[in-house]
Amino acid sequence: MNVSSPLTKVAAAPISFTAAAAKTRGNFSWFAVSRTLLAATLLAAPLAFGAVQEWAWGAMAVAAFLMLLFWAIAGARQGNLKILWSPLYLPALLFLLLGTIQFFAHRTLDPIATRESLLKLVTDLLFFFLAGQLLANGTEKTLAAFGLTVVAYSFGVALFALLQFFSGNGLIYWRVATPGSPFGPYVNHNHYAGLMETLIPVAAGYVLSRPRGDPMRTLQGCAVLVPIASLLLCGSRAGFISLLAEVLILGTILLWRAPVPGRRSWAAAVGLGIAAAALLFLWLDTGAVSKHLLTIGNAAHAPEATFGDRKIAALDCLHILRDRPWLGVGLGGFETAYPSYQSRPSDSVWTHAHNDLAEALAETGLAGGLLMLAALAMFFRLAFTRLGGRLRNDAGWIQVGAALGCCGLLVHSFVDFNLRIPANAAWFAVLAAAATI
């Protein structure tokens, strides 16, 4: 079994999908099955209410193991299983080892929740690993197909969400009643925004990668406006801020790292796209959503958990860390531990801290915190170095879009728990792999 580094050139990457197919027709079939199952699972998971129910995330776990099996069979039939190594695998595996130690050494307040969290973590790591291996095979064509798929999918989901918003009377799929503020196929509008934050930059990256003479470029660019308008219309304040963060990062990249000849046209295209999406939003908005978004600066009168509430919950997580500094309360143990540390009396049950990073720190302690910092540092180094060279080819634009999608969800994670939503976590894992291969 050979291992190669993602820092090597594309020419040194694992044997391409096409080359493998030329050797063995069976290899082509098994690789194709694994890649198709990966795509199907990613596309289906958000439609099942974000895969938050047991049957949905359980099906994702089964699909992940089947993908691994099919990929391994393809490599075995090829006779030389090659693995594209990523430095991110090391902190990921150590984080999994940490959770395993918590469970088997009985260093968790809620063993059942820890077991569930470990299963979900393994599923996400398999998505991350397999996306890296499968997308690296035939990088240019594969990433182009991935980008086009995201354009079509984000447009379809956003169009459905808009139609449901105006005619669904608060029901998901026009039939399912749920408390809270549903939007699209999600029970909570903030989690729908989390999905769009990951998809929009990839779709935009694909459109920017298209040649100027491509007749479909304008149509695809218009298709990206619909997801942006739907994100604004869902009324997620954190989603709005995350989208702004993505736009600012993209603007910086275009100004400082994009190839000089097309720099102005790319910046103009992004600016016009944002303006068009804003106009579409204003045309669709009845006024209520705009008022909701304006509560960003007036958190005391926010119609849901306020910024102050979320800040207090995050600080309470530090109190948990103070009492269990090294290994935390165990993966998934926040809900069990938090009532003893809740500093603001409330009848509400806090299942999550509305801050993924603070919650993970409380659950895994300083050991987990150091691993997360190491993983983030590696991710940013791999995703945002050599941008000038990347943006000279089509695949590089899609990789940058994937990196921006991860950044958007990370920004949102400071005030929400999108990384605890199985569908969004799976998309984050796949985009992290695409951005760093």
Query: In the prediction, which pLDDT does 76 show?
Result: 86
Query: In the prediction, which pLDDT does 2 show?
Result: 53
Query: In the prediction, which pLDDT does 394 show?
Result: 86
Q: State the residue for tokens 């989603």.
A: 239
DSSP string, 164-216: HHHHSTT-BTTTB--SS--BTTBSSHHHHHHHHHHHHHHHHHHHHHS-TT-TT
Distance CA 170, CA 164 (A): 8
Query: In the prediction, which pLDDT does 95 show?
Result: 98
DSSP string, 69-99: HHHHHHHHHHT--EEE--TTHHHHHHHHHHH
Residue 335 lies in a domain: no
Residue 30 lies in a domain: no
Query: In the prediction, which pLDDT does 222 show?
Result: 87
On whether the CB atoms of residues 401 and 210 are closer than 8 A, the answer is no
Residue 103 lies in a domain: yes
The domain of 242 spans: 87-303+347-436
Task: Write out the two tokens for 328.
Answer: 């935390």
Long-range contacts of 91-98 (CB under 8 A, 24+ apart): 91/371, 91/372, 91/374, 91/375, 91/378, 92/125, 92/128, 92/375, 93/125, 94/371, 95/121, 95/364, 95/368, 95/371, 95/372, 95/375, 96/121, 96/122, 96/125, 98/327, 98/364, 98/367, 98/368, 98/371
Which pairing describes strands 82-84 and 2-4: parallel, antiparallel, or unpaired? parallel
Backbone angles phi, psi at 393, to 5 degrees: -135, 160
Q: Tell me how crowded residue 319 is: count the other CB atoms within 10 A of its CB.
A: 15
Residue 285 lies in a domain: yes
Tally of domains in the chain: 1
On whether the CB atoms of residues 304 and 181 are closer than 8 A, the answer is yes
Residue 67 lies in a domain: no
Q: Give 385's contacts (C-beta < 8 A, 6+ positions apart).
A: none
Specify which residues 83 forms β-bridges with: 3
Long-range contacts of 22-30 (CB under 8 A, 24+ apart): 23/78, 24/77, 24/78, 26/74, 26/77, 27/74, 27/77, 27/78, 30/70, 30/71, 30/73, 30/74, 30/77
Question: 3-class SS at 114?
Answer: helix
Distance CA 393, CA 48 (A): 35
Q: State the residue for tokens 């894992």.
A: 429
Q: State the residue for tokens 């309360």.
A: 329
Q: State the residue for tokens 């996400």.
A: 124
Task: Please write the tens of the pLDDT for every residue from 89-127.
Answer: 999 999 999 999 999 999 999 999 999 999 999 999 999
On whether the CB atoms of residues 354 and 313 are closer than 8 A, the answer is yes
Radius of gyration of the chain (CA): 22
Task: Write out the two tokens for 138.
Answer: 């035939």
Per the document, the length of the chain is: 437
Nearest to 256 by CA among 391, 431, 398: 391
Question: 3-class SS at 3?
Answer: strand
Query: In the prediction, which pLDDT does 400 show?
Result: 94
Residue 329 lies in a domain: no
Ranges of the chain whose pLDDT falls below 70: 1-28, 137-138, 257-305
Residue 104 lies in a domain: yes
Task: Write out the two tokens for 335.
Answer: 């809900």
Task: Write out the two tokens for 227.
Answer: 């997801």
Query: In the prediction, which pLDDT does 149 show?
Result: 96
Query: In the prediction, which pLDDT does 388 show?
Result: 81
pTM metric for this prediction? 0.88
DSSP string, 213-257: T-TTHHHHHHHHHHHHHHHHHTT-HHHHHHHHHHHHHHHHHHHHT
Residue 135 lies in a domain: yes
Distance CA 194, CA 199 (A): 9
